Amino acid sequence: KLISIYNSSYHTFHFQNEYFKQLFCAIFSLLLLSSMQCHAQLSSTFYDRTCPTALTTIRTGIRQAVSSERRMAASLIRLHFHDCFVQGCDASLLLDETPTIVSEKTALPNLGSVRGFSVIEDAKREVEKTCPGVVSCADILAVAARDASTLVGGPSWTVKLGRRDSTTASHTLAETDLPGPFDPLSRLISGFANKALTTRDMVALSGSHSIGQAQCFLFRDRIYSNGTDIDAGFASTRRRQCPQEDQNGNLAPLDLVTPNQLDNNYFKNLRQRKGLLQSDQVLLSGGSTDDIVTEYSNSPRAFASDFATAMIKMEISVL
């Protein structure tokens, strides 16, 4: 068609041809850029000009929340993890049920256990006072998890910013993709691998169970099993607050020794057969993760470094 239109003027056609060549190159470049990983667009300085007080404001809110309740540090890290493991770190877990949204909050791994929503909402409200409509909830949640870690003695890391908030949730993925307290080692490894996380990343992230608490029904079978993979004295202690029937919601610290400190004591517990959840103790059960557990139990520095690295890796799946 171009030839028929411009055959009377070679130069005009040549000009148009060059124009379309350039247009094609531009479109191709845009397509190439859009296919690149989203994390290439994230930056730790994303809000430096548009909301320079954002990180300070968030940290103040998280510090107040953790100061009021130390357990909240574990809850915020878990909230971020459960968000990232479904659709990516997009704050979809924060969405309530609507006529068009089946909330992730009501998925079995989250229902009645995931908490800390009000802390994120409060932080968002404070940020909005100075920078309305600028900072995403997804970024606030990512920063909150990092700040929560440091406030209980855990590692810090640089949070890349620039995430967009999701307008949709996936109840189905929340039901299927989140690791469970009864999962065998093979399922844990494959589940993390599906999120581009290595076995080492999985073990490091499991170390977040150095803080926080679990409900009785999640570890009842383990403490009454009389199995060889649980210390008898530890099981007896845990039975006091977790009877064989009823009291499902009774809480026990995941780490009995330093329950409010994000450290490597979790891995020392595993070596003593004192992992509270079955999915904890399987990390030291004669499988491929035994050496990693031993390394982390001997080196708090190795654990802290790998935990921070794994958190960064987990956080790059974003909108």
Asked if residue 172 belongs to a known ligand binding site, the reply is no
DSSP 159: P
The answer to whether the annotation marks 92 as part of a ligand binding site is: yes
Question: Tokens in use for 32?
Answer: 């190439």
Provide the 8-state DSSP code for 52.
T
State the chain's maximal CA–CA distance in angstroms: 96
Q: Is 18 annotated as a binding residue?
A: no
Distance CA 111, CA 319 (A): 25
Note every long-range contact of 304-308, with CB atoms under 8 Å and residues 24 or more positions apart, other chains counting: 304/154, 304/155, 304/264, 305/155, 306/200, 306/201, 306/204, 307/149, 307/154, 307/155, 307/204, 307/205, 307/207, 307/208, 308/155, 308/156, 308/157
Q: Are the beta carbons of 273 and 107 closer than 8 angstroms?
A: no
Give residue 161's Cα distance to chain centre: 15
83 is known to lie in a ligand binding site: yes
Across the chain, where does the E strand assignment appear? 213-215, 251-253
The response to whether 88 counts as a known ligand-binding position is yes
Residue 282: half-sphere exposure toward Cβ, Cα within 13 Å: 17
Task: Say which residue the tokens 């494959």 belong to.
Answer: 190
- Asked if residue 181 belongs to a known ligand binding site, the reply is no
* 86 in a known ligand binding site: yes
80 is catalytic: no
> 127 and 62 in contact (C-beta within 8 Å)?
no
Is residue 255 a known part of a binding site? yes
Structure tokens at 83: 């968000």
Q: What stretch of H or E contains 241?
A: none
Q: Is 231 part of any known ligand binding site? A: no
**14, 39, 80, 82: the active-site residue:** 82
Cα distances (Å, whole numbers) of residue 313 to 74, 88, 306:
19, 11, 10
- 209 assigned ligand-binding residue: yes
Annotated binding site for heme b: 209
Annotated binding site: 83, 86, 88, 90, 92, 104, 179, 209, 255, 258, 263
Catalytic residues: 82
Annotated binding site for Ca(2+): 83, 86, 88, 90, 92, 104, 255, 258, 263
Annotated binding site for substrate: 179
